[in-house]
Chains A and B, each alone.
Chain A
């Protein structure tokens, strides 16, 4: 690459020297099981008098079956009433001790997060509240109806967002009838039909000890952390482990979906099936993707689409590894009349990358960004808690953080090229374009647009 300045070379030398020092700073993960068998992952962080806790369940939308939105609605209802407590009571109990609570769900996982001060006067009421809402949510009919209406509003908001429409269309085209094909937000007809019994059954089956993991980061010693984990999940029924979603079939041919939307930009997604979390190729693909489109303005896609041509504000690519094969995708948005140019540039960049590989120097710089920046990823309790949650949910090894830098250092250029050529076929792509303003062609698929 041109324009290398002299300070650059000096600093590269510095990078290599520091790698071992950074690795030494990676915190050890402590691991055990609660009395009722829930795996716990813990990193002590004694500097600030606070704790971040995540309870993760195999309860994402991949478990929706033929009822899209069921996992999300169940998750959202947890804080809306438990035992004798109403939603108002729960909100009061958490807010008056300054606790921060959130419940969320994606395709694989459902996550309950609690951030609290560790002073027992604040922590205990918060933990008691979260434990109860996990174990004894009431799912009152009037509350179900209210939250259902909120989710229907979300669907209508997604229908006015070209980016959200493009996401839904992309996943549907990529996964078809596979459980990953339907959006976690659900669909109108399904949401309208969900019953209290559906929700109770989903909760009983999925929010169990056999199906839970706990991640903790904070100002606790081991015995306090053990007590906290027990208090959070000890009331959960034993339950049965949930089998993984079915394997994802490979796509066999290219497909282009064009949906009209009265927007000034078109949102473009290009991609195919990528990798699962368990696939050892993920790391070589991730490293390579850092060169193609995962490293901000420095990446090839940003350079070609934004820096050289001014076609888009953002252009990136990513693998989203999931329990089963997650997607690989390229995402960008451009003025409606520039769609064809942007598509050509993105496809050509991907084709050249898979055929020729990332190039020695670009790969080294990407590697240095990842390894040299790993300390940044671990700086802060919330960042650590998110990593721990990932490790816990996907059963990654306990020394994952310790080994990450050397893992990245040991991947060769050839391995990157080989992994990309085995996983990515640029002649078999799903392409979604949403936009075009008033005159856009619309390749049928009205059902996608309505999200039903």
Chain B
């Protein structure tokens, strides 16, 4: 989703936009007696297996005061159990030639290992162990909160565009938990305590809130045996339904300014947009996905053609839309003005592109170009075991079910120019828009009088 190869635009906090899919017929699905769902996809190209455990919990599950707790818990999941002491998990995986990590998003937390195929059982044994038997020690929590604070400084505080994007999200949503950053606000990272974490772990880390996804050179029957052996004995939790967290209706355009030391201005704009989970009409998210491709599907998209090459108002610009969010989302446009052009000019140009989509039908050529890209990407994405798993996991944890993959390409192919215009008219409207502008302060000077958080923590 980058329209300028030089400039990495910050469009999303979330991890990936699973735009395209493979024939899902080859996925084996079964559920253990304790409610844990297991998905297996055979890929015999190399003697390798990826194993992922996905939990339905992330920053959008967090109440105020506890933002970032899902991510902090993810860090603590490497700190040991009675059977596998702190540090051993990573050492065992590494000494077995494995790769491992974890990631937290708004709607999910996931853990993965990549291993030579014969060593899949090691992954199951270790993941099953830490699903129910994590030890949390106060000294580990204090140290890991520091590590996460450093992560926040690295990824957000000291990155002007990421900081702008964080404030943009907070302004765009009033009641939706999508207003909070995945990593959490600094004051929450520093005040979450052992009891909070224990409750969070007990509440969400259970087989009936987890999906196990295995992709690689494996036999599904054998995977089932191993899953029953290691995950089968785990007790399920009594999962409480979430309180409603829907975003209230936006009643007019919102604008914010972010002043921070920087060199390059940045504009980010987002319109409230439905997702596969929230849409009233099932076709709408697919039409928005095509619209996204028309604007920014490669170098031939309208953003590159008209704003970077044509009017040259943008040095870099792009759009982003994630149809798989669990809650109502945003259709985002963002960019840096070219030297000598202003943020206001870039905003007007981006709004102009949106207006054209409301007024005119996209051409058959544009539509077929987007479809060709979707069809090709559907093949390309099968090259990575990891991303095959990602797409299944994202759909499962959003509550959509992995079978949404089955007809994705057909759904995209069925979108008409009229439908693209219709979603533009319905959703890409001024009253549903939030705009954030990064206004650079001199790098030599001090940070703007920024109350509390950022600076206060930086200097003792």
Interface residues of A (CB under 8 A from B): 1, 3-5, 7-8, 11-12, 14-15, 18, 21-22, 25, 45, 47-50, 76, 79, 87-88, 90-92, 94-104, 115-117, 122, 146, 149-154, 156-157, 159-162, 261-265, 295-298, 303, 306-307, 309-314, 333-337, 365, 368-376, 378-382, 437-438
The one of B48, B98, B339 in contact with A153, judged by C-beta atoms closer than 8 angstroms, is B339
Interface of A, helix, strand, loop or mixed by DSSP: helix
Query: In whole angstroms, how far apart are the Cα atoms of A368 and B91 in the complex?
Result: 11
Q: Are B78 and A297 in contact (CB under 8 A)?
A: yes
Q: Are A11 and B5 in contact (CB under 8 A)?
A: no
Q: Are A298 and B6 in contact (CB under 8 A)?
A: no
Q: Are A369 and B383 in contact (CB under 8 A)?
A: no
Give the segment of B53-61, B168-176, B296-304 that binds chain A. B296-304
Q: Are A95 and B372 in contact (CB under 8 A)?
A: yes
- Indicate if B401 sits at the interface (CB-CB under 8 A): no
Encoded as 1 (CB less than 8 Å from any A CB) or 0, chain B from 129 to 172 comes to 00000000000001111111111011001111000000000000
Q: Are A150 and B7 in contact (CB under 8 A)?
A: yes
Given A49-B379, A79-B299, A153-B316, answer yes or no on A14-B119 (Cβ-Cβ < 8 Å): yes
Among B7, B46, B445, chain A packs the most CB atoms within 10 A around the CB of B46
Q: How far is the CB of B340 from chain A (nearest CB, A)?
A: 8
Interface residues of B (CB under 8 A from A): 4-7, 45-48, 78, 83-88, 90-92, 94-99, 101, 114-116, 118-119, 122, 125, 142-151, 153-154, 157-160, 261-264, 297-301, 304-305, 308-309, 312, 315-316, 336, 338-339, 365, 368-369, 372-373, 375-377, 379-380, 382-385, 440, 443-447, 454-455, 457-460
The one of A14, A334, A378 in contact with B118, judged by C-beta atoms closer than 8 angstroms, is A14
- Chain A residues contacting B147 (CB-CB under 8 Å) are 306, 310, 312-313
- Chain B residues contacting A103 (CB-CB under 8 Å) are 5
- Chain B residues contacting A7 (CB-CB under 8 Å) are 92, 122, 125
Given A156-B264, A310-B146, A381-B383, answer yes or no on A372-B96 (Cβ-Cβ < 8 Å): yes
The one of B88, B115, B149, B160 in contact with A5, judged by C-beta atoms closer than 8 angstroms, is B88
Given A7-B92, A310-B147, A379-B385, answer yes or no on A264-B97 (Cβ-Cβ < 8 Å): no
Among B88, B116, B119, B143, chain A packs the most CB atoms within 10 A around the CB of B116
The one of B6, B91, B146, B383 in contact with A76, judged by C-beta atoms closer than 8 angstroms, is B6
Q: Which 8 A-B pairs have the closest CB atoms?
A: A372-B97, A98-B376, A264-B458, A310-B146, A379-B46, A91-B300, A373-B97, A91-B299
The one of B47, B262, B383 in contact with A382, judged by C-beta atoms closer than 8 angstroms, is B383
Query: In whole angstroms, how far apart are the Cα atoms of A3 and B153 in the complex?
Result: 33
Given A88-B305, A153-B316, A336-B459, answer yes or no on A296-B150 (Cβ-Cβ < 8 Å): no
The one of B85, B298, B300 in contact with A3, judged by C-beta atoms closer than 8 angstroms, is B85
- Chain B residues contacting A380 (CB-CB under 8 Å) are 45-46, 383-385
The one of A15, A104, A117 in contact with B379, judged by C-beta atoms closer than 8 angstroms, is A117
Q: Are B150 and A102 in contact (CB under 8 A)?
A: no
Q: Are B458 and A335 in contact (CB under 8 A)?
A: yes
Q: Are A160 and B160 in contact (CB under 8 A)?
A: yes
Q: Are B309 and A95 in contact (CB under 8 A)?
A: no
Q: How far is the CB of B436 from chain A (nearest CB, A)?
A: 17
Q: How far is the CB of B351 from chain A (nearest CB, A)?
A: 22
- Chain A residues contacting B157 (CB-CB under 8 Å) are 263-265
Query: In whole angstroms, how far apart are the Cα atoms of A288 and B68 in the complex?
Result: 36
- Chain B residues contacting A14 (CB-CB under 8 Å) are 96, 118-119
- Chain A residues contacting B78 (CB-CB under 8 Å) are 297
Q: Are A153 and B458 in contact (CB under 8 A)?
A: no
Query: In whole angstroms, how far apart are the Cα atoms of A310 and B150 in the complex?
Result: 9
Query: In whole angstroms, how far apart are the Cα atoms of A102 and B122 in the complex?
Result: 38
Q: How far is the CB of B83 from chain A (nearest CB, A)?
A: 7
Q: Are B45 and A313 in contact (CB under 8 A)?
A: no
Q: Are A307 and B94 in contact (CB under 8 A)?
A: no
Q: Are B7 and A157 in contact (CB under 8 A)?
A: yes
Q: How far is the CB of B107 from chain A (nearest CB, A)?
A: 23
Among B47, B94, B160, chain A packs the most CB atoms within 10 A around the CB of B94
Given contacts A7-B125, A22-B116, A154-B6, 14 further A-B contacts (CB under 8 A): A11-B95, A15-B95, A50-B380, A87-B309, A95-B301, A100-B376, A150-B315, A152-B339, A262-B261, A264-B158, A314-B154, A335-B457, A378-B46, A379-B114
Q: Are A262 and B376 in contact (CB under 8 A)?
A: no
Q: Are A11 and B48 in contact (CB under 8 A)?
A: no
Q: Are A298 and B369 in contact (CB under 8 A)?
A: no
Given A18-B116, A18-B118, answer yes or no on A153-B315 (Cβ-Cβ < 8 Å): yes
Report the nearest A residue to B373, measured CB to CB. A98
The one of B97, B368, B379, B459 in contact with A369, judged by C-beta atoms closer than 8 angstroms, is B97
